[in-house]
């Protein structure tokens, strides 16, 4: 979907209809438009708590897709998952309505605000959330748009009274290149979405273009524990950009290290969570807020949905859910989960996301999963792609077994299971779990449904 050369402010879009309004991106845009007084309607394939919340906020929400939905709309907003055959989309095009991709719709809400974007391959949602709550604690009251619901507020976006707009800036489809930003955080640059970018070099170049577009009077925060972000920081600093570096590793040369958070208890363990908090702290200070106020917000943060989210406990087994779908993310979440598990075992249910990503990273995914005590791998969540019989969850499971075999673990074959039937997974996990264990469901797709079913089975036994 092309981005228009001129993006008008949201108040000039008329009545806006969002196709896929229940998704993480479009639901946030809908909330912000409603908060700005823009009339909003939308549709989605299935009902959800998100849709109920949007209805309560004043949106006209339909289930299913129908050309009649756009009869009174002036502007249509679509997500990347919407096909050209979608009836809402085809009707809008035939009627000559303005059609915007989500990036342009979000950009329409930015004029008049000081935009601070959070970009990076991993950790965007958590870092955006942390920066939001830190600024709130400092009295800044920012507008925010996050790729997940804040546990404290139950929503992923809200209009604030302050001048700042904190936005999660997605690189998967180039959306972050559309925004006019004052400043940014880049958590890491670790090649992903190569179906969009083609090569790791092109992926890294997109982040360079993103940083080049920042306000000359703004700043860039980079975590130098990641080689890609460190290289970006070095190049941008050499070009005259104000750059603030952070590191979660003691002794690493950076402007802000782990000692800056001394005395502050974070919501979850793990080096990558520590790095996210440091990046949020650095950005908050660069915006002019006192460290003490920002630290109070970071310490009060209670998490974001689907980011190491505790779903519950039954029969002595805790169940967490997280969004990790890249090898680096898997490694980080397993590190955090292992710390949370303590003396208990770690059982992981993983669902690969996208055929293209699994084709490229499937072996690395499996090798990282081998760090768990028990692994159940589901089949690939297809999202916007078609199935490939040569690229399934069996590829990931096989790599996990191979890693265990290489470590001469005789129980490797029993510790890893490929389960292509999502509906069968909860029983498989519940049968393996015992008191003291921690179950972690991982992936960007429907694997999030597994945890509640596991809890019900554990409660019943």
Q: Is 62 annotated as a binding residue?
A: no
**Radius of gyration for the chain, computed over Cα atoms and rounded to the nearest angstrom:** 22
Beta-carbon-side half-sphere exposure of residue 231 (alpha carbons within 13 Å) = 10
- Eight-class DSSP state of 6: S
Nearest to 246 by CA among 263, 259, 265: 259
- Eight-class DSSP state of 398: H
Interatomic CA distance for residues 308 and 235, integer angstroms:
33
Phi-psi category of residue 20: left, alpha or beta, with phi > 0 → left and psi -120 to 50 → alpha: left
Backbone angles phi, psi at 429, to 5 degrees: -70, -45
Q: Is 289 annotated as a binding residue?
A: no
Interatomic CA distance for residues 107 and 12, integer angstroms:
13
Q: Is 124 annotated as a binding residue?
A: yes
Q: Is 123 annotated as a binding residue?
A: yes
Q: Is 120 annotated as a binding residue?
A: yes
Contact 30, 54 (CB under 8 A): yes
Q: Is 122 annotated as a binding residue?
A: yes
Where helices occur in 287-326 by DSSP H, the ranges are: 291-300
H/E run at residue 194: helix 194-197
Annotated binding residues for ATP, as ranges?
Answer: 120-126
Annotated binding residues, as ranges?
Answer: 120-126
């Amino acid at each position: 979907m092309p981005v228009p050369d001129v993006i008008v402010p949201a108040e000039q879009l008329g009545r806006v209809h969002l196709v896929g309004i229940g998704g993480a991106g479009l639901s946030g845009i809908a909330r912000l438009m409603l908060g700005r007084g823009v009339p909003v309607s939308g549709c989605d394939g299935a009902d959800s708590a998100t849709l109920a919340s949007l209805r309560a906020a004043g949106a006209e929400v339909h289930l299913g897709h129908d050309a009649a939905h756009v009869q009174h709309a002036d502007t249509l907003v679509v997500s990347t998952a919407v096909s050209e055959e979608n009836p809402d989309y085809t009707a809008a095009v035939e009627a000559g309505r303005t059609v915007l991709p989500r990036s342009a719709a979000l950009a329409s809400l930015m004029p008049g605000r000081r935009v601070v974007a959070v970009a990076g391959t991993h950790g965007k949602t958590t870092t955006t959330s942390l920066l939001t709550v830190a600024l709130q604690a400092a009295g800044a009251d920012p507008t925010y748009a996050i790729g997940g619901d804040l546990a404290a507020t139950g929503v992923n976006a809200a209009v604030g009274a302050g001048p700042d707009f904190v936005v999660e800036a997605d690189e998967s489809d180039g959306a972050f290149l559309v925004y006019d930003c004052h400043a940014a955080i880049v958590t890491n640059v670790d090649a992903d979405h190569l179906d969009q970018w083609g090569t790791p070099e092109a992926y890294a170049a997109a982040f360079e273009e993103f940083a080049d577009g920042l306000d000359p009077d703004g700043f860039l925060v980079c975590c130098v524990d990641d080689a890609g972000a460190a290289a970006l920081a070095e190049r941008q600093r050499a070009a005259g950009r104000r750059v603030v570096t952070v590191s979660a590793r003691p002794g690493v040369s950076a402007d802000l290290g782990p000692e800056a958070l001394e005395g502050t208890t974070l919501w979850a363990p793990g080096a990558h969570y520590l790095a996210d908090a440091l990046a949020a702290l650095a950005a908050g200070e660069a915006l002019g807020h006192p460290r003490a106020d920002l630290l109070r917000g970071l310490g009060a943060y209670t998490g974001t949905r689907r980011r190491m989210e505790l779903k519950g406990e039954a029969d002595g087994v805790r169940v967490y859910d997280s969004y990790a779908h890249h090898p680096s993310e898997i490694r980080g979440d397993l590190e955090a989960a292992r710390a949370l598990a303590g003396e208990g075992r770690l059982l992981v249910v993983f669902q690969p996301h996208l055929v293209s990503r699994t084709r490229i990273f499937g072996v690395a995914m499996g090798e990282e999963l081998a760090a768990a005590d028990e692994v159940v791998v589901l089949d690939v969540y297809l999202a916007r792609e078609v199935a490939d019989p040569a690229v399934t969850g069996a590829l990931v499971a096989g790599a996990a077994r191979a890693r265990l075999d290489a470590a001469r673990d005789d129980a490797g074959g029993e510790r890893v299971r490929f389960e292509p039937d999502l509906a069968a997974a909860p029983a498989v996990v519940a049968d393996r779990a015992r008191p003291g264990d921690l179950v972690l469901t991982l992936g960007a797709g429907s694997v999030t449904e597994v945890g509640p079913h596991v809890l019900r089975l554990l409660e019943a036994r």
